[in-house]
Amino acid sequence: MGFKGDRVRFNVGGTKFETTATTLASAGPDSFFGPLLDGNWNLRPFSDEEIFVDRNPACFSIFLDLLRTGELYIPKKVPEDLLYREALFYGLLDHVRAAKWGRFDGRTMMRLTSTVKSRGLEQGTMVRASDDGGFCVAHGSVVHVYDWMLREHPSIELNHQKVNDIGWADPKSVVVTAPKGMGLFDSSTGELKHQFTVDSQGYHVKGFNAGPLCFGSDQKIFSTCRLRDDENGIGVWDGETGKQVDFWHESDEPLGRAHRLQWLDQGSCLLAAIHARSNRNPYRHFPYNLCMLDTRDKKVAWSWLGSPDLTSRERVWDAVAMEDKSLIAVTDEYYEGLGFLDLRFPRSVRWGPRRSTGVNMTSEGCHPKVEYYQGQLLLSTDDYISVFQGADFIPKLRLQHGDGAFICDFSVGGDRIFTLHHRENRLDVWEAPRPPIL
Residue 59 in any domain: the answer is: yes
Q: Tell me, what's the pLDDT at 393? A: 86
Residue 270 in any domain: the answer is: no
CATH of the domain at 26: 3.30.710.10
CATH of the domain at 427: 2.130.10.10
Residue 50 in any domain: the answer is: yes
pTM, two decimal places: 0.85
Residue 74 CB burial class (10 angstroms; 0-12, 13-18, ≥19): middle
pLDDT in tens, 343-369: 877 677 787 766 555 555 555 557 889
3-state secondary structure of 281: coil
The backbone torsions φ and ψ at residue 368, rounded to the nearest 5 degrees and listed phi first, read -60, 140
Given a cut of 60, whether residue 306 has pLDDT beyond it is: yes
Q: What is the 3-state secondary structure (H, E, C) of 39-73?
A: CCCCECCCCCCCEEECCCHHHHHHHHHHHHHCCCC
CA distances for 143 relative to 96, 148, 194, 209, 391, angstroms: 27, 16, 16, 18, 38
Q: Are 51 and 112 contained in the same domain?
A: no
Given a cut of 50, whether residue 1 has pLDDT beyond it is: no
Which residues does residue 136 pair with via DSSP β-bridges, in sequence order? 128, 145
Residue 375 sits in which domain range? 106-122+315-438
pLDDT in tens, 246-284: 888 766 667 778 889 999 988 889 999 987 555 555 545
Residue 39 in any domain: the answer is: yes
How many domains does the structure of the chain reveal?
Answer: 2
Given a cut of 60, whether residue 316 has pLDDT beyond it is: yes
CA separation for the pair 267, 245 (Å, rounded): 19
Amino acid type, 418: F
CA distances for 187 relative to 143, 176, 192, 417, angstroms: 10, 11, 10, 20
Residue 378 CB burial class (10 angstroms; 0-12, 13-18, ≥19): buried
Residue, of 296 and 195, whose pLDDT is higher: 195
pLDDT in tens, 395-419: 888 998 877 788 999 999 989 999 9
The backbone torsions φ and ψ at residue 64, rounded to the nearest 5 degrees and listed phi first, read -65, -40
Residue 92's contacts (CB-CB under 8 Å, 6 or more residues apart) are 27, 31, 32, 63, 66, 67
Q: Residue 295 — pLDDT band, cuts 50, 70, 90?
A: confident
